[in-house]
Amino acid sequence: MSDMASHGRAGYLPGFLRRADPAVLTAFACIVVLLFLGSLYSRNFLSPEYLLQQLKVASFLGVIATGMMLVVLLGQIDLSVPWTITAGAMMACAAAAYGPVGTALAMPFGILCGVLIGLVNGIGVAYLRIPSMIITLATNAVVQGLMVVYTGGSSPQDTATPAMRYVATGSILPGVPNAVIVWALVGIAMVFLLTRTGFGRTIYGIGNRERAAYLSGINTRRVVLIAFAMCGGLAAFGGVLLAGYASKAAQSMGDAYLLPSIAAVVLGGTSILGGRGSYLGTVAGVILITLLQSILSVMQMPEAGRQIIYGIVIVAMLLLYGRTPASR
Amino acid sequence: MKEWRYWVAEQRGTLLACGIFLLMFAIYTSNHPAGFTANVVETAANKGVLLAFVAMAQTLVVITAGIDLSVGMIFVLTNCVASALVVGTPMQTALGILAVLVVGVLCGALNGAIVIYGRLQPIVATIATGAVFFGIALLIRPFPGGSVNEDLADTLTGKIFGVVPASLVLLLVIVLLVWVPFRRSVLGRGAYAAGSAEAAAYMSGVPIRRAKFAAYMLSGLLAAFGGLFLTFFTYTGEAAYASGNAYTLFSIAAVVIGGVSLYGGRGSAIGAIFGALAFRTIGDLLFVFDLGALWQPLFQGVILLVAVSLGAFGLFRIRNRLEWFL
Amino acid sequence: DPEIVSGPAAQADCFVPWSADTQFFKYPKKEGPYRIALANGYIANTWRIQMVQTAKAYAAQPDVAAKLKEFKVVSTGEDVPAQISAINNFIDSGYDAIVTDAQNPTAFGAVIKRAKKAGVVLVAFDNTLDTKDAINVNVDQKGLGTLWGDWLVKYLPEGGKVLEVRGVAGTSVDTDRHAGVQEALKASGKDFKITEVMGKWDDGVAQKAAADVIATNGPFDGITAQGGDTGVVQAMIDAKHPFVPFAGETENGFRKFCHEYAEQGLKCTSAGSGPAQVAVAIKVAIAALEGETVPQELKLPLAVASYPDLKEGQDYFPSESNNFFVGNSFPTCGINFSAQEIMGQSKEDQ
Amino acid sequence: MDDAVPLLRMEGISKRYGGVKALEKADLSVNAGSIHAILGENGAGKSTLIKILSGVVGPDEGRILLDGREVTFASPAAANQAGIVCVFQELSLVPELSVADNIVISDPPQRFGMIDHKAQRRIAEEALARAGAADIHPRALVKDLPLSRRQIVEIAKALARKPRILILDEATSALTAADVAKVFDVCKRLRSEGLALLYISHRMNEIRELADECTVFRNGHNVASYRAGTRSDDEVIEMMIGRQYSHVFPAKPDSGSASKSAPVLEARSLSWAGRLHDISLTLHPGEVVGLGGLDGQGQRELLLAFFGVLRGLGGQVLIDGKTVSIDSPAAARAAGIGMALIPEDRKTEGLMLPMTVRENLSFASLDRITKAGIVDRDQEQELIDDMVRLLAIKTAGLDIPVGALSGGNQQKVVIAKWLMRQPRIILLNDPTRGIDVGTKQEIYQLLRKLADTGAAILFYSTDYDELIGCCDRVLVLYDGAVRRELVGAEITEHALIASALNIEAEGQSAMQEVNA
Ligand SMILES: Nc1ncnc2c1ncn2[C@@H]1O[C@H](COP(=O)(O)OP(=O)(O)OP(=O)(O)O)[C@@H](O)[C@H]1O
Ligand SMILES: Nc1ncnc2c1ncn2[C@@H]1O[C@H](COP(=O)(O)OP(=O)(O)OP(=O)(O)O)[C@@H](O)[C@H]1O
Ligand SMILES: O[C@@H]1[C@@H](O)[C@H](O)OC[C@H]1O
Ligand SMILES: [Mg+2]
Ligand SMILES: [Mg+2]
């Protein structure tokens, strides 16, 4: 072995390819297998309408899981996602009650509320050093409380604005739902952030070892804070999209997204311990979860069977490619 | 350092949780219209003991640096099983109880096998097994119902000599029969060691897999005691998805309030019990303070936030910033 | 202990017994004013919030307030034991009557015994209790399903493909409604092919489930949904699914759609259980304390509005939120809240 | 003795990690009642060999003979069973458990199926006493002990297992002379009791004093075995590195020439948390200043204090004569201050092991190589190339995990990542711990080169030779205060030890002069 400076150029592959690990490829293979199995039940599972419909539904989870992935890369977790989603949706709708200005600012306002929740989480995790699993659990409860007060206390405006509806359900490119475009944009931004920016590097660095990152002169607390704020903002954005999709906001709308968003991130090969994972994997994970839920739902499987199969399939897929390396 | 100081240092988390609980419970009973009576204590004890079992179950896994997001579903599943089997003659009832406990142990063993031998991360593995457990619960109890040996149920949820809540005695017995022997066994120590520094423990020849597996199995067992007690408390079984998830999250909160480190290796199930009792008292405080109905969830959320942030006060004593990252 | 007496009940227009063999209770008369508590469980959905608000508004009406020394509300969340404990606490604290929307119909055996022993009147509504020892107030959930099924039979005389969007698995409300729908369709003798999905009484979930099933199993000739109806219609619109007869609940948003697309084929019946049933429950509790005769099981009329009789400003409110349940009055009981009134009231209240 | 069956033989052992051949057909033979030293550069395969011997990893090929009989160890526990006990280079203590718990961890005493605390305590006290550390309380948590004490506990733990073969893999690398002496006494006693000891160290003087037999490893293979004392140090080092070896330490400039320029860093009466007391010092461009003293006398804290890690610091820090308040490493490295800290533990403080060499190298310079937040990859590549060249970092590529590098090369990466910023003030916290002589030499030369180009260097080392060979001045700390300043020719082993132990000696009057 000699000095390897000459090896440098080889590292110039696009980031997502360089990081593409077998887990991601296997996850995509699982998607194909799922579709194949579904098509045995009904040809419609391969129809473009169904697939686009799935992509559209997946894009809500996709946006939410994007934020979740950021904090998971840090080795943290955000359990406040359910009510952050709801708060984003409700507050966006609420803003619409304030005339044309309110209507125009509805989406940014909803997202801003999510960012604020994320900031509280971030302060707790980064500055007060409370384990994220617990501080986010508590903020979830607080936000739920706030939303209950809001819903009961003042006559709520809960109808989505036309813009929200358009972003969630319209299609600016023929045949391609806007929601999918939104997810694609969020995803591209995320890939760029993770692979090309200094911020992305520090996310991975902190996820691997925050102490070393700190001693390298990184303001790790600020990075963690920002990541949580982004996670909150993205969850709220997901809520805004969901409100646009359903054309209204409702209290329980976030409940169904917590565990799937975590599962999607991990199924995509991101280590729950932080520091390792690629966005492409998260994309695969999101599509996997969405398809699995949809196929089980449509196959007229009773709820009990659906839960059992859902669980078994996740474990099976992880056993296929999500195992931590053997110690010996 | 004096010997007792080492003891206090070891038990700090537990003592703190105990203190928080006593303070909150004092506030509660002193504002309760009925005051500190046997009935009020019994009611609080029954409700607290349920969560205490689940929190103990969570503790065992957390000590190994894992987390069990299926613990609430084991609780729900064993509740459903108990509502089908723990009835009839004393003999049948006893066999039923045994079956319920076996189901719990099996659930824990499944989790353990997947996490330890399958080498999956506990968070996702237990999200998945939780779905399976719930599915099975729903198969057993598509609708709320079933029944339980009511004499036994009334005894265990009632009072002994009209004063001492039987549930507390039951909890104590389980602690002495399950937790204490585990804590003092080689496997128990192995579980702590694995949670604190798995590689180091392995290199030291600690049987970490067996220790962790034992922790997961006992966790399932304790969750099953919870499910059993829920059946005694409600006379029935119900495959309630929401409450399964709620108990999982409550148990995490209880464990943290109880001074158990989510990073593994530190804390005790006794602390988690006090954490559970304290957490339950947060809910009880609603009863004694005259809060608008719509403000109650917010109130609970804020108290929870304060309770879990208490640990952060230690932060201000930290003078070496590197200690943030331990 | 209540005496079991024969009917009819006092205020017979309102206190309608469930069936011919329903028992009647006569509790020992107590002197007012009374201390009454509402032990709610889950709170984080609009129906429940509307319910709690209605309870407060009802208790504040002058003639009711005059009879009450105290009216206390506690919401304990989804955890059954917490709700049981709350009721125990109310009993131990000497409340005269306790009204509850029970998280579980079968879990309250011990509480019922305890209330009986303490002479406390226990009234359950909406999610009622499987018992003969407490008063139950509810709409007929199975009857609701039957009503929906009959509506579909009426508009699909030849049978056809029906989508049934169900509620939360494992709840009695979902099971009863489902049974009602199935039986009605089967009783018609026509050829109905039913596809079921779970919508969890939630617009988002229902919409997603409906969109999936439309893409794979559609199109359908008729639809029935319990809760989440607005989302289901939205899914039809998004998928360009033809508008077909629809039997659903009473959300304002759903009714707005029904009005808007009626001529294109969205012929609806909209029926359900209004949150105002809590007021009936309180009313029964007071009557029982006053020593009047009350039925053990009390059946409330369904709030129904159907094509082509949906009236703006009465059955639906175009400028209001999509998100509340319109059916909120029980005229036979003198309970006439409008939903907007309820959801707006507390602004001045706080 | 030579024709008797050796206690242990390892034959033809090979082990690969991916593409890296850690060991290739390595042999080793060890006799009872002797201390056998294993020498070799970083990455020579020493640790891998003993990991195989103690059952932590399995060999790809080769066999192990114990008392002439072939054995295989499926786990560390199995090796323990056979009497093979290892003190690993990476400590194997469990931080959340107490010292006593740790000492008995592999086989705690039991009564009625439960751990017998009384017996455990007895065993622990005995083992601690044998390791010369009776002052460590058995109930103290390991995580509360400083590194040097932990290493002693580790040795006590090994002793409690009653080994036949005791392996010490750089067990003394964090120990100071006094502790090392105690460990040596233990080793010698064990030898006389008939044990075989395998001793790995990069400190030649230790090997000289202790070893009976030596085996030198290079590139995963044993290149020579000899009886201790039959080869000169230079010969041994040449066997290890496979090339000519001369002057370890670079020449120092005329003493005092640097201190004529204005100080770049100055401390006035620094104090902190009862651990630092009234420390004043100055550091000039072009100087290498050492921090001496027994381990744990506040040297680390002092470096951390400068680097902005400690809160509630008393006194003043001046940069270029102006008072500054540095409250984070981010502030310390900022332009205008330009400080760098090579931390104590490269694995947890210096590097992100699973990340690539590239990412680690540029991690502390991200602010310099990003424009509008975006990494300029060309600029990054240039800087990295410079550094790889400057420090001669041996790696199979820039996009492999840095954890796959040998210890010495990992340490070079840590140093390189800071040199990339061209710091004016370089703080080093025991940077050569666990580094082979060849690499050490390179580092010494580098330090001097940096000083010559105007950097100011503050250098803590547990190795006295280093302080003597490298430093223009040495500040000896005792109990958080500067006990003595040694300048130029005053820096001798005798003076260092005397002042480190705070011995009343001829140094006393000199010290008073310094303080005055
Ligand atoms: N887990 C591993 N994965 C990949 N490569 C490894 C691993 N462990 C060791 N190596 C490689 O094997 C070779 C031998 O390493 P080993 O740790 O045995 O060296 P050593 O002689 O103990 O060095 P040092 O003196 O630095 O401790 C090195 O090139 C190292 O990079
Ligand atoms: N290392 C020790 N030295 C002396 N006494 C001890 C030690 N550890 C525990 N004890 C004593 O043993 C008894 C039980 O201690 P404790 O309750 O702390 O044990 P534990 O928590 O079950 O197990 P562990 O000792 O592993 O923490 C107490 O009397 C305690 O003082
Ligand atoms: O009756 C149901 C009520 O209990 C639930 O809270 O909301 C939906 C209603 O249909
Ligand atoms: Mg202890
Ligand atoms: Mg080594």
Q: Do B1 and D137 touch (CB under 8 A)?
A: yes
Query: Which residues lie below 8 Å from residue B5, measured CB to CB, with a gap of 6+?
Result: none
Closest ligand 1 atom, CA of D170?
A: 27
Q: Do D399 and A18 touch (CB under 8 A)?
A: yes
Q: What is the rounded CA–CA span in Å between residue D357 and residue D399?
A: 6
Ligand number nearest CA of C50 is 3
Q: Which residue of B144, B246, B297 is in closest CB contact with C43?
A: B297
The pLDDT of A26-34, averaged and rounded, is: 89
Distance D71 CA to ligand 1 centre (A): 24
Interchain touch B–A (≥3 Cβ pairs closer than 8 Å):
yes
The b/e string for A151-174 (b: 16+ C-beta within 10 A; e otherwise) is bbbebbbbbbbebbbebbbeeeee
Instruction: Tell which wins on pLDDT, C145 or D249.
Output: C145
- pLDDT surpasses 80 at D458: yes
Tell me how far apart the terminal alpha carbons of chain D are, to the nearest angstrom.
62
R_g of chain A, CA atoms, integer Å: 20
Q: For A210-226, how does the pLDDT look when each residue is reduced to its tens digit (9 = 90+)?
A: 999 999 999 999 999 99
Q: Is residue B57 within 8 Å of B77, Cβ to Cβ? A: no
For residue D497, how many C-alpha atoms fall within 13 Å in the half-sphere facing its CB?
11
Confidence class of residue A13 from pLDDT cuts 50, 70 and 90?
very low
- A132, two tokens: 């994220």
Q: Which residue of C79, C85, C175 is in closest CB contact with B43?
A: C85
| Mutational test site, ligand 1, from D21, D23, D38, D48, max ligand atoms within 8 Å of CB | D48
Q: What is the rounded CA–CA span in Å between residue D401 and residue D384?
A: 15
Q: Is B142 on the interface with C (CB under 8 A)?
A: yes
Closest ligand 3 atom, CA of C51?
A: 6
Check residue C42 and give its pLDDT: 84
The chain A residue lying nearest D52, using CA atoms, is A328
The pLDDT of D469-495, averaged and rounded, is: 90
Distance C299 CA to ligand 3 centre (A): 16
Looking at residue C168, its amino acid is V
Model pTM?
A: 0.87
- Which residue pairs, CB below 8 angstroms and at least 24 apart, start in D441-444? D441/D245, D441/D248, D441/D249, D442/D391, D442/D392, D442/D412, D443/D411, D443/D412, D443/D415, D444/D248, D444/D249, D444/D250, D444/D469, D444/D470
Between CA D375 and CA D382, with CA D378 as vertex, the angle to 5 degrees is 115
| Mutational test site, ligand 3, from C42, C46, C47, C202, max ligand atoms within 8 Å of CB | C47
Q: Residue D464: name the closest of D292, D251, D343 by CA.
A: D292
- pLDDT surpasses 70 at A16: no
Give the strand pairing for D276-283 and D265-272: antiparallel
Q: Which residue of B184, B196, B319 is in closest CB contact with D311?
A: B319
- pLDDT surpasses 90 at D94: yes
- Min distance A206 CA to chain D CA atoms (Å): 8
Confidence class of residue A43 from pLDDT cuts 50, 70 and 90?
confident
Domain D246-338+424-439+457-516, CATH homologous superfamily name and number: P-loop containing nucleotide triphosphate hydrolases (3.40.50.300)
Say how many domains are in chain B.
Answer: 1
Q: Is residue B164 within 8 Å of B171, Cβ to Cβ? A: no
**In chain A, which residues have their Cβ closer than 8 Å to the Cβ of B135?**
303-311
Q: For B40-50, how does the pLDDT look when each residue is reduced to its tens digit (9 = 90+)?
A: 999 999 999 99
Q: For A169-189, how does the pLDDT look when each residue is reduced to its tens digit (9 = 90+)?
A: 888 888 888 999 999 999 999
Looking at residue B270, its amino acid is I
Q: What is the rounded CA–CA span in Å between residue A203 and residue A276?
A: 10
Between CA A251 and CA A253, with CA A252 as vertex, the angle to 5 degrees is 95
Q: For D177-229, how does the pLDDT look when each residue is reduced to its tens digit (9 = 90+)?
A: 777 888 888 889 889 989 999 999 877 778 888 899 999 998 889 998 999 88
The CATH number fitting domain A28-37+44-322, selected from 3.40.1620, 1.10.3470, 2.50.20, 3.40.50: 1.10.3470
The Cβ of residue B294 has, within 10 Å, a number of other Cβ atoms equal to 24
Calculate what percentage of chain A has a pLDDT beyond 70.
92
Looking at residue C125, its amino acid is F
Interface of A with C in 62-101 (CB under 8 A): none
- pLDDT surpasses 60 at D516: no
Query: Which residues lie below 8 Å from residue A37, measured CB to CB, with a gap of 6+?
Result: A295
Check residue C301 and give its pLDDT: 87
- A192, two tokens: 């760029």
The domain locations on chain A are 28-37+44-322
The enclosing domain of B189 has a CATH number of 1.10.3470
Give the strand pairing for C97-100 and C34-40: parallel
Q: Residue C107: name the closest of B86, B234, B244 by CA.
A: B234
What DSSP designation does C44 have?
Answer: S
**In chain B, which residues have their Cβ closer than 8 Å to the Cβ of A214?**
321-322, 324-325
Q: Residue B234: name the closest of C102, D92, D145, D118 by CA.
A: C102
Q: Is residue D227 within 8 Å of D49, Cβ to Cβ? A: no
In the numeric block, the tokens 């009134």 are attached to C341
Distance A87 CA to ligand 3 centre (A): 21
Q: For D442-453, how does the pLDDT look when each residue is reduced to its tens digit (9 = 90+)?
A: 899 999 999 999
Residues of chain B short of pLDDT 70, as ranges, are: 1, 326
Average pLDDT, chain A: 88
CATH second-level architecture of D8-241?
A: 3-Layer(aba) Sandwich (3.40)
- pLDDT surpasses 70 at D330: yes
The chain A residue lying nearest D343, using CA atoms, is A215
pLDDT in tens, chain C (350 residues): 788 888 788 888 899 999 999 999 999 999 989 999 999 988 877 788 889 989 999 999 999 999 999 999 999 888 899 999 999 999 999 999 999 999 888 899 999 999 999 999 999 998 899 999 999 999 889 999 999 999 999 999 999 999 999 987 777 788 899 999 999 999 999 999 999 998 888 887 888 889 888 988 879 999 999 988 998 998 999 888 999 999 999 988 899 999 999 999 999 999 988 889 999 999 999 999 999 999 999 999 888 889 888 888 888 888 777 778 887 788 888 888 876 677 655 433 33
Provide the angle, in degrees to the nearest 10, between the axes of the packed helices A220-246 and A162-169: 100
Q: Which residue of A153, A159, A303 is in closest CB contact with C346?
A: A153
The Cβ of residue D224 has, within 10 Å, a number of other Cβ atoms equal to 15
The chain D residue lying nearest B185, using CA atoms, is D114
- What domain range includes position B23? 3-325
Q: What is the rounded CA–CA span in Å between residue C235 and residue C252?
A: 17
Closest ligand 3 atom, CA of C48?
A: 6
What DSSP designation does A161 have?
Answer: P
The b/e string for D390-420 (b: 16+ C-beta within 10 A; e otherwise) is ebebbbebbbbebbbbbbbbbbbbbbbbbbb
- Note the helical H segments in chain A: 15-19, 22-41, 48-73, 81-95, 99-122, 132-153, 162-169, 178-196, 198-208, 210-215, 220-246, 258-267, 279-298, 303-321
Q: Do B127 and A144 touch (CB under 8 A)?
A: no
- A2, two tokens: 């000699």
| Chosen from C165, C202, C205, C208 to mutate, greatest number of chain A CBs within 10 A | C208
Q: Do A256 and C43 touch (CB under 8 A)?
A: no
